[in-house]
Amino acid sequence: MAPHDLRRPFKRAAITDQQKRRELSLLRQAQNRREAQQQARCLASSILSLQSPVPESEPEQSDIELENASETEQESGALSKDLDVRRASKLRGPEARNWFARQLMLPEWMIDVPDRLSQDWYVFARPAGKRCFVVSSNGTTVSRQRNGSILHHFPSALPAGAKTRDGSGSAQSYCILDCIFHELDQTYYVIDIVCWNGYSLYDCTAEFRFYWLNSKLEESAYTGVMPYVKDGLLFYNKHAHYQTGNTPLVLVWKDEDCSQYVIDTDSKGEIPSQQQVVLELQDDRKLVTSDEPPVLFGCLDGDIIEKSGLHSGNLLRFAISDGGLSFVDGKLEKADLNYLGKANRARAFADTYSKVLFQFMVRHSPLKIDDLLASINSPDDQENNSSDIEMLLNAPSRVTTV
Amino acid sequence: MEVTQVLLNAQSIDGAVRRNAEESLKQFQEQNLPGFLLSLSGELANEEKPVETRKLAGLILKNALDAKEQHRKFELVQRWLSLDGNAKSQIKACLLKTLSSPVPDAWSTASQVIAKVAGIELPQKQWPELIGSLLSNVHQLQANAKQSTLETLGYLCEEVSPDVIDQDQVNKILTAVVQGMSASEGNPDVRLAATRALYNALGFAQANFSNDMERDYIMRVVCEATLSPEVRIRQAAMECLVSISSTYYEKLAPYIQDIFNITAKAVREDEEPVALQAIEFWSSICDEEIDILEEYGGDFTGDSDIPCFYFIKQALPALVPMLLETLLKQEEGQDQDEGAWNIAMAGGTCLGLVARTVGDDIVPLVVPFTEENITKPDWRQREAATYAFGSILEGPSPEKLIPLVNVALTFMLSALTKDPNSHVKDTTAWTLGRIFEFLHGSVVDSPIITQANCQQIVTVLLQSMKDTPNVAEKACGALYFLAQGYEEVGPSSPLTPFFQEIVQSLLTVTHREDAGESRLRTAAYETLNEVVRCSTDETAPLVLQLVPVIMMELHNTLEGQKLSSDEREKQSELQGLLCGCLQVIIQKLGSSEPTKYVFMQYADQIMGLFLRVFACRNATVHEEAMLAIGALAYATGTDFAKYMPEFYRYLEMGLQNFEEYQVCAVTVGVVGDISRALEEKIVPFCDGIMTQLLKNLSSNQLHRSVKPPIFSCFGDIALAVGEYFEKYLMWAMTALQSAAELSTHTAGEDELIEYTNSLRNGILEAYSGIFQGFKNSPKTQILIPYAPHILRFLDGIYMEKDMDDVVMKTSIGVLGDLADTLGSHVGPLIQQSVSSKDFLNECLSSEDLMIKESAEWAKLAIGRAISV
């Protein structure tokens, strides 16, 4: 029983670099394992490139697929929203357009800066182009524009997006992606995800839906260089579910530096000298926006209605005259409107209140990027410093055409 | 057999005679174990035999009862227990008899053997009369019998755990020991043996320390023994106080003043071995209070099992001056001597612990000492002043320290270059390192390093790397922490302008003739690693340039021919440093696409070097090379397949290395890396890997910490090879199920719960990988029979309520994977499980983002499985 050694480390760091190397390796391995797992769970398919067209498979096979599909549909009504989509995919012409036109989640325009912008909102640069749904099912992929009309038919690498050799595509398997079609490189940029491989994401928060997209970006959405032409910034509230129609939980904002289309142009692509708005005519001659509930902008003169043969439900174009828009307590009090004529037939909706207001502000006292940044750095948000905004910046993933 | 002669021969200087004797002993043991052990004990007990054969007989006996390796020890215990009872009785009788021998070597060996036998038999409720007969010896008049018995009791307490001996016997042992320690014991050898026995017996005295009278008595006897005229007794008694300080911290309050007086006197006046123990007492109190206060800090409720008595805070005004005095008692050359430990070093270390215990309060007590001494002509005073300052840099708040450091920094930088004394420079460089470690980086609001002084700091540190090895090593350490502080600095680092110069200087250090001294070469490579880790994109081209440089260094280590074993060890160490450095570089460059792309041009050559490093050894693989290969596989991806035919044998060798279980664990991790990199291309190697992994699991020689990663590795492989895993499925599932059963029936100690959770995590990761691997395969059906067990396992984990967050996340993920892969086949089964309801809901409302994500995923998968 000799005396015990009581030497302690002297002028030595607590852990050695070798220990650190081991720990960092373990950390990397755990992270790699997690990524592999996520990929397996289809949570990380960031770039969905299209397959080259597959030779036509035998007609019997596709028949079988169709039968299976219809059977499952009848059996189950649980995931009604998704099944609606697949049922709707069989709709044709105006019916289909009408249905799809009501399925996209539409952003409001940012007319003031929301609270907790840096904590609760994702932002990414909106690619310039046509907003559309990309739906893959039964071995084909269809894109539909905002008004419901079909943009393209093509095979894609999305689950059930192309005919496969073994015909194994399950009937449950289909995807609905919310995209923007970017003409320049013929690419679909995915901005949101509604269904993936049969999993409905309608009732999931934006935070979770974007996690499926898994497309974190380092550089700033505003100044950064994107692989596409930018058209403003989209802000998504983290907690928002995918909700069809207009929502204040998704906001769009633009200025000249990040969009070529800040001020609305007319059909010739020129900026009119006066702001133009499209409003819906109601039974009682009232002119309203497409908001829910609608916002009243004024009443149309009975003479004009009669003269132009207008009736309720018509979408009408107006110019905002010198009287402009007046507000009392933040509410619209009076609009100086000048009737121009019926709106383009392709229009499905009237303008929203936030759009009219944003356009009005752009012409008079725009909301600037500095206002956004100031809000992020305001004392309210001080707990999260400004570097946090970068954490929330997202770039859309892509579906590339062949 | 005439054992005496054989035992003599076994110690012969003639090698042939010795080997011959060893062979005979071995044969004897194999042919007739009881006879063998009996004749050894007879030899030990026989007063007519030469002392050297008696001693050797005892040692062989001892080695027949105990071994270092866990599995060997277990075998020996079983062997002894199954031995003929009659033989055992005779052996034990011989051993007890030897305790009364007048020959110290004989009784001392016997006392150790008795303790080993007791360690085996007492837990089995055998040899009940042992303690009684030992205690009857204590009352003999013969001093050596008393001494040998007390020593035996000491060894015995070291061998057996306290719950094996009932309180009545504990009381008797303690009474005998404490009586032997008391001042009335005239024989100093007996008193020393008793004091040392008490050291081991303290763990048995729980009940006695809870009784005021008994505790007072024990404490009084221990304190008296610290005043014994015999230095060995004072030292042993002081050791008892150190042990009491951690075992019975909460009982110390009534004695702490007296102990302070005793220890302070010892520190100032006693011989060094006693003084060192006295300082250790206070270091140990610091350890206790740091632990308790950390627990307080953990959950703000303030209820720890043991309350903090703030002994250090109370003793502070007297304790700090005492420790500061010790700092002036440095030994010349202590910084060059790896094994040095003296009163100045112990005192300085204790001062650092005191600072961590009390925080800000220490600052005003130390600063005047530093200010007064730092400019004195005597190097001892300057060194002590610097050491004192360096010691208090961890503990007090940055607000308190930063103003002082801002003043001190300039002085230190100047001292590091100009002080004529090497000790002072060593301590100054160390102090700079502490400044950067604790007061530089993102944790501190007002930076102490600015654009104005950064250049000077780097220049001074690089300059000091040319100083003596010990000073240069500390300068490397300071640079390590300087770099670390800029780890999260963003796209541009203040070190960027100096990057090239720093790397060049570090490489120069590694080539110094004397880099083998004071760990200098290791420190230089470690610092290089940290500089690379904390580098930014700006310097990525420079990191890339480093690759061929380090490769060349590694290449050079492979050129030497016919090395002596000493040279071989040095070569292996250097290879370790270089492989470590390459690993860090690979991981850094591999983490971003553009640099990875450029780096890959070196992949073939690097892999070639690693394979040659492996080939340098016979039976073992180099851990650092293995770790580096894991990083390389990750960076290389599928292309790694081309290295597999050559690399495979080393992979297997690594998996077979049970002795160095770290190597085995690292290799298991690399199998995971390779699975992810190769995906189905790993198939040709799977038979070998899976067989070895299954063997490892069933071995009781392999350290248990390697087993959870092996299960995770099953998951990695299954995910990589998909339905091909079918051929291993039955074996893997059997191993998983039995481990799963093991991991649900544990409760108790924190350490065990921690292990259980890591085991569960491994099992769950295996299930996840298997389910996801089989998904979309026509063979998913073969997993269905396992579903009930897995769901029960998940439910079990939930019910036990002792899972950690990681297990919660993986558990709920497995539930999702099971539903995802098996779908409607298991719908009803899932709906019956607790996991799919309460557990899932708990996870869905978790604040942990990872748990929530997994839960959302599970919810979706279940929703689909039960709706179809």
Which H or E element spans position B80? helix B70-81
CA distance B665 to B658: 9
Q: How confident is the model at residue B26 (pLDDT cuts 50, 70, 90)?
A: very high
User: Could you report the per-residue pLDDT of A134-187, keeping only the tens digit for each?
Assistant: 888 777 788 888 777 778 887 777 777 777 655 444 555 677 888 888 888 778
- Minimal Cα–Cα distance from B1 to chain A, Å? 34
**DSSP states of B277-338:** HHHHHHHHHHHHHHHHHHHHHHHSS---SS----HHHHHHHHHHHHHHHHHT-PPTTTTT-T
Mean pLDDT of chain A: 72
Specify if A143 maps to a domain.
Answer: yes
Cβ <8 Å between A10 and B348: yes
The answer to whether residue B761 scores a pLDDT higher than 70 is yes
Position A394 scores a pLDDT of 44
User: Worst-scoring range by mean pLDDT, A243-247, B58-62, B701-705?
Assistant: A243-247
Residues of chain B with Cβ-Cβ distance to A194 below 8 Å are none
- Minimal Cα–Cα distance from A378 to chain B, Å? 19
User: Worst-scoring range by mean pLDDT, A362-371, B125-134, B368-377?
Assistant: A362-371
Mean pLDDT of chain B: 92
- Minimal Cα–Cα distance from B92 to chain A, Å? 22
The answer to whether residue A74 scores a pLDDT higher than 50 is no
Cβ <8 Å between B673 and A24: no
Position A219 scores a pLDDT of 37
The answer to whether residue B818 scores a pLDDT higher than 90 is yes
Q: Name the nearest CA neighbour of B485 among B523, B519, B454.
A: B454
φ, ψ of residue A131 to 5 degrees: the values are -70, 135
Which amino acid does the sequence have at B679? Answer: E
When CB atoms are compared, the residue of B430, B580, B772 closest to A40 is B772
Specify if B787 maps to a domain.
Answer: yes
Residues of chain B with Cβ-Cβ distance to A79 below 8 Å are 863-864, 867
Asked if residue B549 lies in contact with residue B502, where contact means CB atoms within 8 angstroms, the answer is no
Q: How confident is the model at residue B68 (pLDDT cuts 50, 70, 90)?
A: confident
Tell me the average pLDDT across B51-77. Answer: 91
User: Could you report the per-residue pLDDT of B431-480, keeping only the tens digit for each?
Assistant: 999 999 999 987 777 889 988 899 999 999 999 999 999 999 999 999 99
Cβ <8 Å between A29 and B630: yes
Task: Return the HEC string of chain A.
Answer: CCCCCCCCCCCCCCCCHHHHHHHHHHHHHHHHHHHHHHHHCCCCCCEEECCCCCCCCCHHHHHHHHHHHHHHHHHCCCCHHHHHHHHHCCCCHHHHHHHHHCCCEEEEECCCCCCCHHHHEEEEEEECCEEEEEEEECCEEEEEECCCCEEEEECCCCCCCCCCCCCCCCCCCCEEEEEEEECCCCEEEEEEEEEECCEECCCCCHHHHHHHHCCECCCCCCCCCCCCCEEEEEEEECCCCCCCEEEEEEEEECCCCCCCCCCCCCCCCCCCCCCEEEEEECCCCEEECCCCCCCEEEECCHHHHHHHCCCCCCEEEEEEEEEEEEEECCEEEEEEEEEEEECCCCCCCCCCHHHHHHHHHHHHCCCCHHHHHHHHCCHHHCCCCCHHHHHHEECCEEEECC
- Residue A242 to residues A107, A125, B218: CA-CA distances in angstroms? 11, 19, 74
Specify if A55 maps to a domain.
Answer: no
Residues of A engaging B, defined by a Cβ cutoff of 8 Å: 1, 3-4, 6-11, 13, 16-18, 21-22, 24-26, 28-29, 32-33, 36-37, 40-41, 43, 72, 75-76, 78-79, 168, 172, 198-201, 204, 208, 211, 387
CATH number, residue A198: 3.30.470.30
Residue B569 has a CB neighbour count (10 Å cut-off) of 11
Q: How confident is the model at residue A76 (pLDDT cuts 50, 70, 90)?
A: very low
User: Could you report the per-residue pLDDT of B675-691, keeping only the tens digit for each?
Assistant: 999 999 999 999 999 99
Position A393 scores a pLDDT of 40
Residues of chain B with Cβ-Cβ distance to A31 below 8 Å are none
Tell me the average pLDDT across A49-62. Answer: 30
Specify if A240 maps to a domain.
Answer: yes
Task: Return the HEC string of B709-732.
Answer: HHHHHHHHHHHHHHHHHHHHHHHH
- Minimal Cα–Cα distance from A106 to chain B, Å? 25
Residues of chain A with Cβ-Cβ distance to B430 below 8 Å are 11
Tell me the torsion sign for CA atoms B561, B566, B568, B574: negative
| pTM of this structure | 0.72
CATH number, residue B810: 1.25.10.10
- Minimal Cα–Cα distance from B816 to chain A, Å? 9
The answer to whether residue A200 scores a pLDDT higher than 50 is yes
* Number of domain units in chain B: 1
Position B509 scores a pLDDT of 97
User: Taking the C-alpha atoms of B593, B595, B597 and B600 in order, what is their torsion angle to the nearest 10 degrees?
Assistant: -130
Give the percent of chain A with pLDDT over 70. Answer: 70
When CB atoms are compared, the residue of B426, B627, B857 closest to A21 is B627
The answer to whether residue A71 scores a pLDDT higher than 70 is no
Domain that holds residue B754: 728-867
β-sheet bridge partners, residue A237: A121
User: Could you report the per-residue pLDDT of B173-223, keeping only the tens digit for each?
Assistant: 999 999 999 988 889 999 999 999 999 999 999 999 999 999 999 999 999
When CB atoms are compared, the residue of A3, A22, A172 closest to B235 is A3
Cis peptide before A293 (omega within 30 of 0): yes
User: Worst-scoring range by mean pLDDT, A53-62, A310-319, B640-649, B834-843?
Assistant: A53-62
Which residue's entry shows tokens 């709920």? B812
Could you tell me which chain B residue has the CA closest to the CA of A170?
B776
Size of interface A-B (CB pairs under 8 A): 122
Domain that holds residue A306: 18-47+88-366+391-399
Residues of chain A with Cβ-Cβ distance to B712 below 8 Å are 33
User: Could you report the per-residue pLDDT of B398-424, keeping only the tens digit for each?
Assistant: 999 999 999 999 999 999 999 999 999
Cβ <8 Å between B768 and A37: yes
Specify if B95 maps to a domain.
Answer: no
User: Could you report the per-residue pLDDT of A346-395, keeping only the tens digit for each?
Assistant: 777 888 888 898 998 888 888 888 887 777 666 544 444 433 333 334 44
Cβ <8 Å between B529 and A17: yes
User: Worst-scoring range by mean pLDDT, A386-395, B154-163, B510-519?
Assistant: A386-395
Residues of chain B with Cβ-Cβ distance to A206 below 8 Å are none
Could you tell me which chain A residue has the CA closest to the CA of B775?
A40
Cβ <8 Å between B196 and A1: yes
Position A263 scores a pLDDT of 85
Specify if B763 maps to a domain.
Answer: yes
User: Could you report the per-residue pLDDT of A270-313, keeping only the tens digit for each?
Assistant: 888 889 999 999 888 899 998 878 888 888 888 888 888 888 88
Position A385 scores a pLDDT of 40
Q: How confident is the model at residue B430 (pLDDT cuts 50, 70, 90)?
A: very high
Residues of chain A with Cβ-Cβ distance to B853 below 8 Å are 208, 211
CA distance A86 to A160: 12
User: Could you report the per-residue pLDDT of B246-260, keeping only the tens digit for each?
Assistant: 999 999 999 999 999
* Number of domain units in chain A: 1
ipTM of the modeled complex:
0.82
Residues of chain B with Cβ-Cβ distance to A28 below 8 Å are 587, 631, 634
Specify if A125 maps to a domain.
Answer: yes
Cβ <8 Å between B280 and A10: no
The answer to whether residue A80 scores a pLDDT higher than 70 is no
H-helix segments, B395-539: 398-418, 422-439, 451-464, 469-484, 499-510, 520-533
Structure tokens at A164: 């496969």
Q: How confident is the model at residue B490 (pLDDT cuts 50, 70, 90)?
A: confident
